Structure 1
Amino acid sequence: MRGKRVPVVIVIFISLAMLLSATQYAHADTGLVPPPTNLTATAVSSSEIDLSWTAPTGVGLVVSGYEIERSTNGGLTWSVLVASTGSTATTYSDTGLAHTTTFTYRVHTVTAIGTSFPSDTASATTFAVAPSPPTGLVATAVSSSQIGLTWTAPTDNGGSAITGYKIERSTDGGTTWSALVNTCGTSTSCSDTGLPHTTTFTYRVSAINSVGTGSPSTTASAATLAVAPSPPTGLAASASSSSQISLSWTAPTDNGGSAITGYKIERSTDGGTTWSTLVANTGNTATTYSDTGLTHTTTYTYRVSAINSIGTSSASSVASATTPIAAPSPPTGLTATAASSSQVSLTWTAPADNGGSAITGYKIERSTDGGTTWTTLVANTGNTAATYSDTGLTRATAYSYRVSAINSAGTGSLSITAS
């Protein structure tokens, strides 16, 4: 007996059902395809995690690739990293990641009949990195020897706490740099001290964490302030006469960063115990000065300070000089008295000032025309007697006299006349 024939309609229906089933498997996870196993995630840098897994096994299973999903919230939500790797390789590198971030992964097997349920998850955390640069660096001159620095901490600490800052300084506008010793710890302000005046310094700052030192900030510059000059040097004092002492000195080796505008000159008559200002400001840059109107045979001590726009320097070392002796001042109280018809007696008082040297005699001059012309009666009496008798004179004749004192410096000025 012949078998029954299957209606064509039934065959077409069965074929359509199988096609619809295959299509459904291709667009949803299916238990017909086993997932990968032994998924591991390993951080290899601050921006890369490497994945590896074991391929599934099964009779007649043909793997066309793997779907990889990633989560940044511990698996609560997922995003498709790769819909299909398109190969049977069981490794994958996820790059371009953020540092110090934990990523969770799962993998699906992709076949022609569908995609498997996900594998077990695996997680890894990318490494920390050196910090980003500090921002807002400002350098401010605080004094002639100090510059203050301030900055803002990096916006990204690299995933590891900031442990300090590297501060660098340049004296050539940033061509070359030297690292300073930072005693300020994690503070975002620090002072650079012990600097020379009127000098421009450029700075940059880098942040440090457990990974290392980050890139430097932008630079900032400041110039230390000017100061008063250093003292003049080489001060010398020499007596030019019995009433004048000349001073000379060398300008300061350091003008303090501001031009010298004058000098202050001080004088002492007690060897430097007390001082009086001789000139508050010479008002010029000359390095010489003459002190006049001085007393003879007197020792004077001097010191000089330099002046600039900031102020007055410390005083120089001292220098002393003694004015020499001078000729005596005039005798006083000269009188002439007729002692007889042929003699006139003279008397006078010794000079009030012997010029700093003992009186050794007197010069006596006489005039017979009322002082119009004079003749030397005695060039030097050779003694200190303050009297003299002029004898052998003509009677009834008027005589005029004048006297000068003599010391080792010479003959002094004339006394007033007496007749």
Structure 2
Amino acid sequence: MSRYQPRLHPDWTSGGGSTVDYRISYQTGATAPATCAAGTTINESSVTGTNHAVTGLSANTQYSFRVCAIDNSGTPNVASGTTVSATTLQAAPPNVTGLTATANSTSQITLSWTSGGGSTVDYRIAYASGATAPADCSSGTTINESSVSGTSHAVTGLSTATQYSFRVCAINGNGSPDVSSGTTVSGTTLQAAPPDVTGLSATANSSSQITLSWTSGGGSTADYRIAYATGATAPADCASGTTISESSVAGTSHAVTGLSAVTQYSFRVCAINGNPTPNVAAGVTVSGTTLQAAPPNVTGLSATADSSSQITLSWTSGGGSTADYRIAYASGATAPADCASGTTISEAAVTGTSHAVTGLSPVTQYSFRVCAINSNSTPDVASGATASATTPVSFTHGGWTDVVALGPKTNYANLYVKTDGTTSASIADSDLKITLAWGDFGGATEDGYKIYRATSSGTQNFTSPLATIGTAATKTYTDTTVTPGTVYYYVVRPTISGTAYPTTESYSEIRVVAPPANMGLVHRWIANQEVCGLLGKTSDATNNYRCPFTGQGNVGNYYDIEHDMIVDRFEAGCNYTRTACSGGSLGAGPADCTANADHSASVTAAINSVYFYSGAAGAGGCYINTDGGTTWVQMISGSAAQRAYGISSKSQLPPLVR
């Protein structure tokens, strides 16, 4: 019989005899028609030879046939016939549907499908590496129906991370099965598990962020997962603790944010591959501690000018993470924008909550910024608080080094007076002057001086300068505009750029009495070497043997030259206005006085005596007064031109002479 459906092909052998042709009848089922005239008939004209293909049958259906021989009679005799049964073949099966390929591992892909129904009995599979499936299920690598059970099959022994293309063909149950054209699908085996990362490090960037960095372990690594927890122990795997998925991690570093300040965190970084359900490496761990929070600003910042070169800053800590302080400052009304600008003072130089800034310029405004810093390895620096202050000018008086008051009458002879910083100077006859000399002022650096004069003590009286000296190198001034017998008060003030600045010492103001008009009187604060020795003072040869200042003579708010001066010499000329000097009454006329050169005496005399130069020897002579003009004593008569009058107290000075 033919195996092609839907037809059957009965074969037979002629019985011989009178047989000429054959008639066939058939019907479905196991029983043939009773005669060749029953059932479905095929007459002799359609039958040739001893076989005939019966077509138009139903697939997979049993049919029973009767074949009857006939002779060639006019009305043929028909044999009773011979019967046979057969079943048509199954139809070719339809293709499967819903074919999928699922990679289960690095060496296995499972195929799943839905039967197309029909005559499907089993399945055959063919596959090859790459994107194209075999052309049919007998090509490529084949898996026959005996190995395939149901509508799925795990294809094993594949290569890792390799694409495979599959064809699944349905077959029917025919003896030689019909095979469908098949349905195709592709799938790629999974990647191998990735190796762990290397070189994992944790760097604290701020009080809320730690950045993780690592090197890929290579292999099948495609992405990374991160898990972390507070404390010294990292999560056991990358699915525990707080997790960060691969979609949030780019490259081989990741900044973990939202952390708490000054807190230890432990991290696990796991490599994953590109499988649909990724393989996850065991992971590598590291720990790190977040930085301290930025410190708050200081409060209560104040700037106090202590001197012409120093301003002290004081403040209160803002607390928080404050560990130290930095300072920046600049001249002017505006502080530096931050503590890294302007002139800076590092935290190493600042102790506690105050700092004296030194080396400043006098009379200059400075603006300061004080910034708190924390103890991070690279400290956070607060924006800072600001304050301003102006340095004052603070001068310390240099002391009076020489004060000389010269009367106008020198008996027509020059006086030789050594003044500070000079050699012996000839003081011309009829000069009336007061010469002042002073030392270097302490504190700020002056560039000149202004001299003030008043006839009453008190700062309020020194309003307009008497003179201005434009260089600090000149520390002496001679006042030639004095009136005989007048008490003067002098102040010397140092200047900076033309502005005078006072000092506060009591001896910065000095009282000097101008000699009477009829005397060549010398008041001296500085004596010669002998006088210094008498006073028990060490003389300074380089400074004209002057005695060091002792601080004596402070009277109220000024220095009184009259009560603490060494009297170097009092020389009185008697050529005052009176009618007679030799024997006449007071006020009679001018005296006949003789010029004398230098009438110095012993040290004792230099301190305690006044010397008069009368005229020729005789009964006449000059009168002296030491109590302000009440009691006058006539000079002793005699032949000596020089007469000495003892002064019992310095408070009697200066004497008056007539």
Higher normalized contact order (CA 8 Å, seq sep 6+, divided by chain length):
1
Calculate the TM-score normalised by the size of structure 1: 0.48
Larger Rg computed on CA atoms: 2
Calculate the TM-score normalised by the size of structure 2: 0.34
